[in-house]
Amino acid sequence: MIDAPTLRTLLRRSDLALSLVTPEDPDLLDRPLRWVHSSDLADPTPFLTEDLVLLTTGTQFRDEDPVAARAYVRRLSERGVAGLGFGTEVYRAGIPAELVAACADARMPLFEVPYRTPFIAIARAHAEAIAAQAYARRTWALDAQRAIAIAALRPRGLESILSELARRLDVWVGLFDATGALAHQHPQAALDDEARGELAAHAGDLVARGAQATQSFTVGTQPFLLFTLGRGGSLRGVIALATGTLDAESRAVVTSVIAMAGLAREQSEQLGRRTARLNRQVLESLLLDDPTLARRVLGAVPAAPIVVAVAEADAPAEAIIEWCERRRTNDAIAFFAAEHRAGLTLCVSAKHEDLVADAAVRFAVRWGVSEADGYSTFSRLHDQARRALARGTSPVSRYGDAASASMIGALATDEARLVAESRLAPVRRHDEANGTDLERSLRVWLEHDATLDAAAAVLGVHRHTVRSRVAQASALLGLDLSTFTARAELWVALSTLSD
């Protein structure tokens, strides 16, 4: 790809024989040029635009006045002129020394144009460079369009065209879905967590507004351009580019990608709605404790033992299912999900139960989770998940925990409380008389499966201190706390009086 024409481009043309007189400054020599103009006026600035090279034969410098030379160069600098070319051997044998000094002081690139090089040749050379650069950009755009069209035919068309766009523009490109989650990026892991978080929040705000938009956004020192996908009122996501500007050709390529991505997202959502209807029918079959239809339709189901999870009623089902699909691709997690009148139902292998906890955090949605079992008991697992959701208040409520809690709750009668108070009385009297904390130490110890190290970490003491407290309580209670029966009896007593 040909870069935009610069003063350095002209100086490198051997046929022009131009020679730089002032010190070389890459920032100035590599500045893009708009045009080449010639004038011998003492003040040509009313007729100039910025980013051009001015050519002169120097008739305005007859008096060799350094003050006038500095004023002339200052006017050019303030107007944004990118360089000054002096045609020698026309009116004078060389470049006036006062002009050379003034250009050097003002950091204005000054070059000599020999007598044999007409000014029109320099203007023509620059025009040819502009035409070549424009042709190269049009060729690049056509090649990019062709490559992106081919990418769209690949199995993961949307992700392929975005990756191809990133390669063609040589910038990071990301796709945020309707929830603000980063659905795809290329190159991978090019942004840190903070930048991704800020972009995701901004993308989510754009989608929430519901209007088509193109916005610039800066994270730290990195500029981004954000483009919404879909029609106003029905936005389907945001494409982000790690750049602050696009030329006409790049913008045309990006515009075509946005149109293709919007269409792909719309088609994907249509397919998703049909898939959702099919999955609801599969779920009804599973609730008959028969996985035959599910295996025929889905090809494969999560390996048993499985857990069934049910989300609360207002859970964003489509967004959660799309997020699970990405986890399936990235982490090789098999799952089945379908909407149900009881709430979004998710089925995963027991070893991947953490998918439910991750979804609870990601979407701030409560879930009820069943015990682990096979497909022949799917209806019972689904009922367990519904009951756990109804009983629980935490992000993830497991039926096994709820069942255990309800069992102890059923035992917490007035008589049971009297017995528990009597049973724990020796420990409580000792704590009150000596300012110790044996009862709490026992509770923490049992909550952590009678593990000394874990209990010590929670209590903020040494493991030997926990062992000493347990032994002391054991003696006070007359219980051998090394046995399961004694520990169970103590746990029931503590749980009965927990409120």
Instruction: Indicate where the chain has its CATH 1.10.10.2840 domain(s).
Output: 412-496
DSSP 242-292: S-S---HHHHHHHHHHHHHHHHHHHHHHHHHHHHHHHHHHHHHHHTTT--H
Q: Dump strand ranges (E) for 78-171.
A: 83-87, 110-113
Instruction: Indicate where the chain has its CATH 3.30.70 domain(s).
Output: 287-399
DSSP 359-396: HHHHHT--EEE---B-GGGHHHHHHHHHHHHHH--SSE
343 SS3 class: coil
Q: What's the pLDDT at 413?
A: 64
Q: Which of 206-215, 338-347, 401-410, 461-470 has the lowest mean pLDDT?
A: 401-410
Q: What's the pLDDT at 23?
A: 92
The better pLDDT of the pair 4, 413 is held by: 4
Task: Answer whether 228's CB lies under 8 Å from 204's CB.
Answer: no
Residue type, 142: L
Q: Which CATH architecture has domain 152-267?
A: 2-Layer Sandwich (3.30)
The band of 270, judged by pLDDT with boundaries at 50, 70 and 90, is low
Instruction: Indicate where the chain has its CATH 3.30.450.40 domain(s).
Output: 152-267
Decide if pLDDT at 169 tops 80: yes
Going from the C-alpha of 84 to that of each of 70, 74, 87, 343, 479, the distances in angstroms are: 13, 12, 10, 74, 100
- 298 CB burial (10 A radius; 0-12, 13-18, 19+): middle
Q: What's the pLDDT at 3?
A: 65
Pairwise CA distance, residues 145 & 298, whole Å: 36
Q: Find, among 184, 181, 183, 246, the residue nearest to 207 by Cα.
A: 181
Tens digits of residue pLDDT in 40-60: 999 999 999 999 999 999 998
Q: What's the pLDDT at 409?
A: 57
Q: What's the pLDDT at 1?
A: 47
Pairwise CA distance, residues 366 & 352, whole Å: 18
The band of 307, judged by pLDDT with boundaries at 50, 70 and 90, is very high
Q: Span 480-492, mean pLDDT?
A: 87
Residues above pLDDT 90, as percent of the chain: 28
CA angle 240, 244, 248 (to 5 degrees): 95
Cis peptide before 426 (omega within 30 of 0): no
Pairwise CA distance, residues 403 & 80, whole Å: 78
The better pLDDT of the pair 1, 329 is held by: 329
Q: Span 454-464, mean pLDDT?
A: 88
N residues, the chain: 499
Q: Which CATH architecture has domain 287-399?
A: 2-Layer Sandwich (3.30)
The band of 120, judged by pLDDT with boundaries at 50, 70 and 90, is very high
Pairwise CA distance, residues 352 & 309, whole Å: 12
Q: Span 422-427, mean pLDDT?
A: 88
Q: Which CATH architecture has domain 412-496?
A: Orthogonal Bundle (1.10)
Q: 7-129 — its CATH code?
A: 3.40.1390.20
Q: Span 442-449, mean pLDDT?
A: 88
Give the mean pLDDT of the chain.
85
Q: What's the pLDDT at 13?
A: 92
Pairwise CA distance, residues 233 & 410, whole Å: 52
Q: Which two tokens stand for residue 340?
A: 């149900």
Going from the C-alpha of 108 to that of each of 68, 102, 406, the distances in angstroms are: 16, 8, 85
Tens digits of residue pLDDT in 228-250: 887 666 667 888 899 988 888 88
CA angle 26, 28, 34 (to 5 degrees): 130
Tens digits of residue pLDDT in 79-90: 999 999 999 999
Q: Dump strand ranges (E) for 21-140.
A: 35-38, 52-56, 83-87, 110-113
Task: Identify the helix (H) or strand (E) that includes residue 93.
Answer: none
Decide if pLDDT at 151 tops 50: yes
Q: What's the pLDDT at 407?
A: 55
Q: Which of 23-27, 337-341, 407-411, 459-463 has the lowest mean pLDDT?
A: 407-411
The residue written with tokens 């190269």 in the block is: 136
| pTM of structure | 0.50
466 SS3 class: helix
Beta strands 396-398 and 182-186, pairing class: unpaired
Q: What's the pLDDT at 126?
A: 93
Tens digits of residue pLDDT in 462-479: 989 989 999 998 999 888
Tens digits of residue pLDDT in 193-228: 888 888 888 888 887 777 777 888 888 888 999 888
Decide if pLDDT at 410 tops 60: no
